[in-house]
Structure formats: C-alpha cells, structure tokens
Structure 1
Amino acid sequence: MNNNKALQFYTLTGGPGAGKTTLLEGLSDLGLTTAAEEGRRIIKEQLNSHGNGLPWMNKELFAELMFNASIKSYQKMVRISGSDPVFFDRGILDTIGYLKLERLPVPKEMERAAYEMQYNKNVFILPPWKEIYENDPERKQTPEIAERTFECMFDTYREYGYHIIEVPKITVEQRIRFILEIIERIH
C-alpha cells in the first residue's frame, strides 16, 4: 500500500451513539471523501435476510462480516482516492476492538491486516455522549456498553501505535472544524 495514501486515511472511532455517522455525513456534505460504517450496514442486511450474523446472535460471524467489509472498503479507497483526505466511520481495528470487548480471540489474519493496512496515525475518537445517544433497530447497546466500547477502542488503537485525538462534545460544525484544523496543522 502506498504510505502516502495511508497518511490521508483518517479514522473516526468510539462507542455507538457518539455522533460518528452524523459527523461523517457533515464531512461528506463538504465534498470530502468518506467511507460509511460497515457494521450498521451488515446488521441491516442480516435483519432483512434473516441471517444470524448479528452481534446479539453470533458475535464471531458478525465480526468476520465486519472485518471483511472493512477490508473491502479500505481497498476500494486505495483504488479510488487521490491525495485528499478520506474519512472512515470506523476502521479495520474496530473489529479487533469489538472482539476484545466481547472477550473473543482475535484471529492472526485480522492482526496481520491491521498492521498491513494502515491509516493515518492520528485517530479521531468520539467520547460517549448520553445526551445524544439513541437506540434503534441496529443499535441495541446500553449507554454503559457504549462507554465500555469507547474505552476498548481507545485501548486497541493505542496498542497498535495510533495517536488518539478526542473530539469534543460540540456541534457537528464545530467538530468538523476541529478535525480539519488538526489535519491542516499536521500536514
């Protein structure tokens, strides 16, 4: 993989319901390249097809589906993106964080891919935010699990050598400005 592209691949991570998708949509509205979260799409597909690759039915299968979709999303962005930033709603490491959260073994293949398919070392993490947290058909976690997910993602990204930047609990527009100003400073 071209390391110059990896320098432009930015991950938005954290627990569920912290505003990642809304933030990604705001970045997309500005004309920036974005890659949507795969987990939510997989849950919708599994619900529609009556599949069992759901986090509340078969955690291992869900993780495998999420991992494979994240790899495809990453590879697609390598092919189509230019030199401008690309923003991912979760990255490959989020699957590893999910497995750790669920106390499931992390396959060697996933560890290897996480080291081979790098993102920018500055990762934006959105903290739990109870005031905006909502459940829906794809999001069944409690705010407490969202907090634990945040902590697990923080630890997982740090373990793999990433620098964690916590995005403040401010308006979407202010969050976008915060992220873009940091990116401008580091380049």
Structure 2
Amino acid sequence: MHKRFFVITGGPGSGKTTLVAALAQRGLATMPEAGRAIIRDQSRIGGSGWHGQDRRLFAELMLGWEMRSWHEAQALEGPVVFDRGIPDVIGYLMLYEGRVPDHPLRAAELFRYNPTVFLAPPWSEIFGQDAERAQGAGEAVATAGAMERAYRAAGYEVLPLPLAPVAARADFVMERIGTGG
C-alpha cells in the first residue's frame, strides 16, 4: 500500500479532473485520467477500444494505463493524486458488463492506494457533456455509485467531496492528505 497515493473517483462530470488540475497548480504531483486519453487516442487511430464501441477492450486499456500510472508515481516525491485508480475499472466493468474477470480484481489487490479515497459525488450544477463524455446525468449517478461500491469492496474508505467551489474542494483534499490548505 502506498499511503501517499490518493485517488479521486466519481462519475463523469463531477469535477474530478478540474480538482486534480487545481491540486497540481498547488504543487501536488498528479496522474491523469485514463478514459479521456484512451478515447482521444482510439478516435484518432480508428480503434474500437472506447466506451461507445468495445467496452471490454476499453476496460483493458484503462487497466493497463492505471497500472502504468501507479508504477510511474513511485518515482515522484510526496503525495500523488490520481484522477481515478484501478478499482474504477472494476466499477466500470460491473456497471456495463455485469461481471469482472479475475485479473482486474488481482490488480486491485496488488496495486494499492491510500486507504481513504475521495469521491466526487454527482452534482447537477456542474455536470456537462462533451465530445469525450457522452454519458447522461443518470448514467453519471449510476457510475458514481458503481465506483463507490468498487472501492468499498476493495477495502477502501470512501470520503465524499463537498459540493463546493474548486478552491474549497482543493482545501478539503489538501487538509486531509496533510499538506495544509
């Protein structure tokens, strides 16, 4: 377990990536979200490994990304904030495929994060769709629930973020990871 590896999870459009960017501006090391980058790359090459096509392949690509991010973070100093983690892949598979193969479960056992995971809850006031986020608000709520269940099943404590401006959310995270406000 890496006590200095912190995950921010939740459904799409809940402010995760914006918060991670704000924490990076405050000097914390961060690891980017897999999903958006994979969707962009798969679209550019005409690949099928994205949410709207081959969801199993998309999950495999996300799993590989998350394991690589975990390894890369070991070389960084101090706290590292991840925009999603390996249990997100498990939540995704449960939500969209109804089952999870053994290897993502094994990855979640081997590649551990801080015991407290931050959940960005669904928040209709900031939710929006774009070229890489086709999910609607209902799907965003279902995704947040799936992520919470996946992290709890993997043995993590899930701490909801406040529905507050980005600066207040960043203060909340920084206080809880011991870096001040």
State the TM bucket, normalised to the shorter chain: over 0.9
Moved over 2 A (4+): none
Q: What per-residue deviation string (whole Å, max 9, x for no partner) do you get for residues 138-167 of structure 1?
A: 100000000000001111101111001000
After TM superposition, give the deviation of residue 184 of structure 1 in Å: 2.1
Distance in 2 between residues matched to 1:31 and 1:107, nearest whole Å: 37
2:97 to 90, 103, 116: 103
Distance in 2 between residues matched to 1:150 and 1:140, nearest whole Å: 15
Distance in 2 between residues matched to 1:159 and 1:68, nearest whole Å: 21
Q: Over aligned residues, Cα RMSD in angstroms?
A: 1.1
After TM superposition, give the deviation of residue 88 of structure 1 in Å: 0.1
Deviates more, 1:139-148 or 1:175-184: 175-184
Q: What per-residue deviation string (whole Å, max 9, x for no partner) do you get for residues 28-81 of structure 1?
A: 001110001011100000111111111111100000011111111111111x11
Aligned to 1:31: 27
Alignment of 1:116-131 (within 5 A): 116-131=110-125
SS at match of 1:13: strand
Give percent identity, aligned residues only. Answer: 41
SS at match of 1:102: helix
After TM superposition, give the deviation of residue 108 of structure 1 in Å: 1.2
Q: What per-residue deviation string (whole Å, max 9, x for no partner) do you get for residues 77-111 of structure 1?
A: 11x112x1100000011001100011343121111
What stretches of structure 2 of length at least 5 have no aligned partner?
Answer: none
Aligned to 1:161: 155
Aligned to 1:49: 45
What stretches of structure 1 of length at least 5 have no aligned partner?
Answer: none
